[in-house]
Chains A and B, each alone.
Chain A
Amino acid sequence: DAGVIQSPRHEVTEMGQEVTLRCKPISGHNSLFWYRQTMMRGLELLIYFNNNVPIDDSGMPEDRFSAKMPNASFSTLKIQPSEPRDSAVYFCASSLIGPGETQYFGPGTRLLVL
C-alpha cells in the first residue's frame, strides 16, 4: 500500500494567488482529514470527511479556505486568495472509522506564501 499521497510536497507562491493541495487517501479508508501545522498553533484540524461528505468544517479558518472530496480516492484543499499567514505544513490523513482504528498521515505539503 502506498499510504496517503499528497501533492505538491512543497509550494511557494505569492500573496493573492490560488493554492490547491491534493490528497489521495489509503484505498478502503472511509474518512479523510485535513490538518494544518505551524510552530505557533501546533496541529489543527481543518475539515473532516466521512464517506466523501464533509462532517465537520469548524476548523476551516475563513471563507478563503474550501475543501472538496468528489470521490473516495481524491480530495482537494483550496486557498483563494492566499495570504502569508497561511504558510504552514498541510497534512492529509485517512482512516477506517471504527474502534481501534487510527489515522494514517500523508507526508504533508509545505506551503510558503510570500
Chain B
Amino acid sequence: EDKVVQSPLSLVVHEGDTVTLNCSYEVTNFRSLLWYKQEKKAPTFLFMLTSSGIEKKSGRLSSILDKKELFSILNITATQTGDSAIYLCAVENSGGSYIPTFGRGTSLIVHP
C-alpha cells in the first residue's frame, strides 16, 4: 500500500521566516510527487516532481525530490501571511491508474 507522511503536522512562524516542509513516501513504481496548497477551499496545484535533484521554483516557493531517500521538501522563503494554508503532498504510482495518495498535510500559519 502506498504511503505518504508529511512533517511537521503544523507550523507557526512570523512573516519573513523561511520554512521547510517535509514529505516522505513509500510507493510501488513511483511516477511523480505532487505538492498542493489548500487555503479555505480546494487544493490548488503547486509542483509536480518526477526527477531527483532538479529544483522546481515558483516565486518564493521551491521544491526538490530525492528518489533515493524517498522524500521531498517544499521551501518557502520570506513567508507572508498569504502563505498560511495546508500544504499537501501526494505521490502517484505508474501502475496505470494515475491515482494519487495524499499525505495528511502540514498546516502553516504565518503571523504578521
Contact = CB atoms under 8 A, between A and B. Distances in A.
B99 A45 contact: yes
Interface in B69-111: 88, 97-105
Contact of B105 (A33, A43, A100): A43
Interface residues of B, number: 17
Given A56-B97, A102-B34, A102-B48, A107 B42 contact: yes
B100 A103 contact: yes
A97 B98 contact: yes
Nearest to A59: B99
Interface residues of A, number: 24
Given A42-B103, A102-B34, A31 B45 contact: no
B43 interface: yes
Contacts of B104: 41-42
A94 to B, nearest CB: 12
Interface in A6-45: 31, 33, 35, 41-45
Contact of A103 (B45, B97, B103): B45
A95 interface: yes
A42 to B, nearest CB: 4
B41 interface: yes
Interface of A: 4, 31, 33, 35, 41-45, 48, 55-56, 91, 95, 97, 100-108
18 contacts: A35-B102, A42-B102, A42-B103, A42-B104, A43-B102, A43-B105, A44-B102, A48-B97, A48-B99, A55-B97, A91-B42, A91-B43, A100-B48, A102-B48, A104-B45, A106-B42, A108-B41, A108-B42
Given A43-B43, A48-B97, A56-B97, 19 more contacts: A4-B42, A41-B104, A42-B102, A42-B105, A43-B102, A44-B102, A45-B99, A45-B101, A48-B99, A56-B99, A97-B98, A102-B45, A102-B48, A105-B42, A105-B43, A105-B44, A106-B42, A107-B41, A108-B41
